[in-house]
Structure 1
Amino acid sequence: MSQRPNLSELNQYHLGIWYSAYRFIISFCLLMVFFVTYSQLNDQYQYPKLYLYVLTSYVVISSLQFFILNKIKAAIPKQMVLIFFADVLALSLLTFALDGPNLHLSLLFVITIFAASILLNAQKALIITLVAVIIVIYQLFVGSILDFASLRNIGNSAVLAFLFFVVYGCGQIAVRRFQILENLNFSQSLELNQLQNINRYILEQIDTGYLVLDENCHVVLSNPAACHLLGITASYSAEKFPLYMSQPDLFELLNFEDLRDGEKFQFESQQSLYHIHVHVKKLIVPHQMLTLLILQDAQKLNQHVQQLKLAALGQLSASIAHEIRNPLAAIVQANELQNGSDPAQQQMLSKMIAKQAKRIDGIVQDTLNMVKNRETHAVELSLNRFIPLLIQEDLSDIKKMIQLNIQSSCHIYFDEAQLRQVLINLIRNAIRHNDPDAGYIELNIYPHEKNMRIDVRDFGQGVAVQHRASLFQPFFSTEITGTGLGLYLAHSFCEANQAQLTYVEQQRGACFRLICQRAAV
């Protein structure tokens, strides 16, 4: 029972088939050329009968070897060795019949040596090369002994023998390069296969459905979750298929050419038991136009959203209760102390009650501002006019403590009321935390690349490192009288206007930077 050939032998076999076909065509053409040109070029053949017999035998042997190699895929290396030995022997006899090497036969010799270097291992290829060298050089000595030829072609034979070694070396270098490339290609194929298996495993495990469509609205990739949601049989998950055949309801709903990146919609199908939420994403792939449909169970998605809302509401309620508890406790204690107190103490306690009540009112107002769902309407604002007017109208009591540095032609896109609230909060915070000896804070407004920056900087103690991660969280404050909602609201308003509010570390003081979209003038 013959062993199954490995991958290397199969590659050798396919290349050997091509080489066997080549040598049969070459030998047959040489035979035809001999018959056609013999009457005109008979003087160039030293031994024409030998030349004819060798060519005829070469045609028969090459055809037989081609047939055997094509039908029998066993012992491929041995078959290749016999093929090259037949080539070297036939070409050597043809050279002898011509009384020395010529250009055409030398070229065929070189091709044979190079092919042997590629199709055989280094040791066998070297043996073929040495046999060719020995035959080419010593056939002239044999001819001289038998008085068949002279030694006038010994120089050409020596050059041809040297050329055989050069071609053998070049062939071995080429083989090593091919092996390196083959090993690299094999390792990359393994890595790619591993990545594909990992991706396939991930897609099979997640509950979200993924459906990738090409420009013809054919599904090129789908995962089991998508098939389950759409009511598609599992066999479709591993092959390309037209969407209109598997899910006609979704196909009729899709206006494929008008789908926009980020578009969302919901649909129901008779094939599916689910109400499906679809999110469209355009994929940027070279030489392809692909569309990704992210499919989710709308009922589960709504339940998840409600759970998040309830969790946020619970956290907000707990935070409000915690913040109100302290001033409320102070009010209750002050009210109890009023009984039996003298008028001066009662007046002091009344002021304390009023102060704590005002603090509770501030917490309630800030909470209401935080939970308001007012729409954001970004408009083009000229900061050169807006900022001085803001300082004059809303910050008149501290305008002498604000040093404004603004460049000309500063235009941004922002909701006017929300920007006003953000800047008032940041500026009053900076005044409150500023060093009294500094006397002022800085409000620096300047363009940076495609954005506009608004820096509010004070010269106080700055924000401690352990507090920076909590700066924009609700109800976080380092002051006893603070509600901890000012920076959170400012950060939320900036996000609603596609802007960023960040803390910038300074050697002295604190700097809050507002980065917003710059409007073209």
Structure 2
Amino acid sequence: MTEWLSSTWEANWRSFQYFNLYRLVLAALFGLSLLFPNEWTARLNLLPSWLMFGLTGVYMAATIAGLVLATHWQRHFNAQLSAQVMVDIVVVTTLMQQARGVSSGLGVLLLVSLAASSLVGRGRLVLFYAAMATVAVLLMQSFGILLEQYDPASIVQAGFISAGFFATAILARLLGQRVMINEDLARRRGVALDNQILISQRVVERMQDGVLIVGQDGFINRCNPVAQAMLGLPDAPAPLSGYAAALAEALRAWLRSDGAERFDFSANDGGALRARFERTASSDGEVLVFLEDVGRVRERAQQMKLASLGRLTASIAHEIRNPLSAIGHAGELLREERRGEMQDRLLRILNDNVLRLDRIVKDILEVGRQNQAEPEPLPADEFCAGFLDQFAASENLANGVVVLEVQDAFRISFDRSHLHQVLWNLVSNALRHSTRGPGAVRIVLHGSHADGRVELHVIDDGPGIPETVREQVFEPFFTTHTQGTGLGLFIARELCATNGASLELAASSRGAHFIVAGRNDTCLLPKPNDVRAAN
């Protein structure tokens, strides 16, 4: 413990300055007692004389010098402290010798000096100070006894005072050590607390969720940058009701214990947010409000689902597709042997289900692939016309079921194979839910030349998408059709995002209306409305 204190000890100049101020006051009192003698000074034999004035003047000069050095030249702390303590020992023992030795009671002044020096001093020096005071007092008292000025029995009293010097020094030093330990502990805990506060602030700032600290008065005391961006909050404290009135009302209801712990609401930009309330142990009764972006949470869940699905695609390719090909090949061989109408019907059922399973496997494998897009400027009208010819031939469609309406001619920046797959998924899905009559499915090309946005609209005349499932149509494996896989729209949207485009479900009074919005590339002049039918 002593070695640890020695290595962590620092000079306490402020306490040393206070010690010198005390000594300066003491010297001033000695000087006043000489200038204005009284009965008690006479009883102590402290009468005005050249010796007493000189001793008091030297003591005051030494004290002032020590105070100046401790304030403006803070070096060699132990040397300065030792010098001042030695001055106290010499001056006080001289005064005791003039005041009839230890019986005067002036030895208490040495006890105060030793106690103060032990509190601010270091290590074994405090014992050295006590030893020097003991030697000085015993020599002074012995000298007085030899000169027959003092009672010989007073040497016992001098011994007790000397023992008090050591006891005072040791006890003061132990107290000083405890103070040093507590100061160091408080300093280290303060540093740890500051570090923890900095780490907590950085963690809160880096959180992907918004965090608000709301007081009982409804004012936002603090918030992180994510919450500022979500609600458009200023840097200064502001009322929550001024930026999210619905959230403020939900918080008040929760504080009254008649509201839910979670609350869903819309942000200023139209995004869906979810708030969660939590009380704190703060003396001000502040409440924590955590804000989550519902869209981001759903996207994260989809990513986790797709990550799990991606690990299955390799095994699906080998474990399902190869046996499926064998089944399909065996069905083709059986079809060559014409045995009767029942066998042909069963073979058709077998072939249809093999094709359906093959399509499911293709969709799942497509989800697992991470193809890089290679965009190129594609004439939208020519590309869609060629697509319609291929699609109509593949689906054996009658003329005019799927039509192309060209409102604006433009070039769209898109990967050719990706755009083909997006249109195939959208048109086949629209055809499945349409009436299959003339113009049942329409592809409308519309370009906005002002901001460079171009749109491909796919519209059908079917029953449309119910409001209850509109937010789920782009989720993987969600389907309302018995023959669907639930991956077509999801894959189409992912391919659009890969090409810097978007796939949206627009509001429609009849049927489903999907919009592929992309970037215009070398926009052509608009030409009159043109309607083409898929042959």
- TM-score normalised per structure 1: 0.48
- TM-score normalised per structure 2: 0.47
Larger radius of gyration: 2
Larger RCO, structure (CA 8 Å, separation 6 or more): 2
